[in-house]
């Protein structure tokens, strides 16, 4: 029976990897590969590479051919840390995609390097007060939490 490590070793034999800086530099040349983000929706919503296509890893086989019909295009797959993207790259190869690369280090390394990302704005808050009692109870709760934190801070000094 194979281990996770075995699967990753096998994937690295067939899927080339690029560092985040190499991907950034490649994009700066004007090359336009498909950027495929295989992270979950919550991760995508916190930020992603500009122009990326989002298909969560668990839906890859189901959605990829509809969203990426040209199997000859260059595809750079990324996730949060470079593991899911490597396995997704292997799956893409098995599905007939010819030019697949995994971004080593994933979106985490991309952010750590300070490279540009598309971050959606936070959702707008509803400015209408539909339940004043609820808002008052939330404020009271937050004030209690703050008081506890202040007390904890005082005791630690």
Residues acting as catalytic residues: 79
Tokens of 6: 């075995």
49 closest CA partner among 64, 33, 72: 33
Residues 6+ apart with CB under 8 A from 71: 95, 96, 97, 98
Residues 6+ apart with CB under 8 A from 151: none
d(CA 82, CA 103): 6
Tokens of 40: 């979950």
- Please list, residue by residue across 12-29, b when 16 or more beta carbons sit within 10 angstroms of its beta carbon and e when fewer do: eeebebbebeebbebbee
């Amino acid at each position: 029976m194979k281990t996770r490590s075995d699967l990753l070793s096998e994937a690295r034999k067939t899927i080339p990897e690029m560092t985040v800086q190499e991907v950034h530099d490649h994009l700066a040349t004007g090359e336009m590969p498909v950027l495929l983000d295989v992270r979950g929706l919550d991760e995508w919503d916190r930020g992603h590479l500009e122009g990326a296509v989002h298909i969560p890893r668990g839906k890859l086989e189901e959605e990829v051919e509809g969203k990426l019909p040209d199997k000859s295009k260059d595809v750079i797959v990324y996730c949060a840390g470079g593991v899911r993207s490597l396995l997704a790259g292997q799956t893409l190869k098995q599905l007939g995609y010819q030019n697949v690369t995994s971004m080593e280090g994933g979106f985490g390394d991309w952010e750590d390097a300070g490279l540009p990302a598309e971050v959606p704005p936070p959702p707008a808050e509803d400015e209408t007060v539909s339940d004043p009692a609820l808002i008052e109870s939330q404020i009271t709760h937050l004030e209690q939490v703050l008081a506890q934190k202040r007390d904890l801070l005082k005791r630690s000094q």
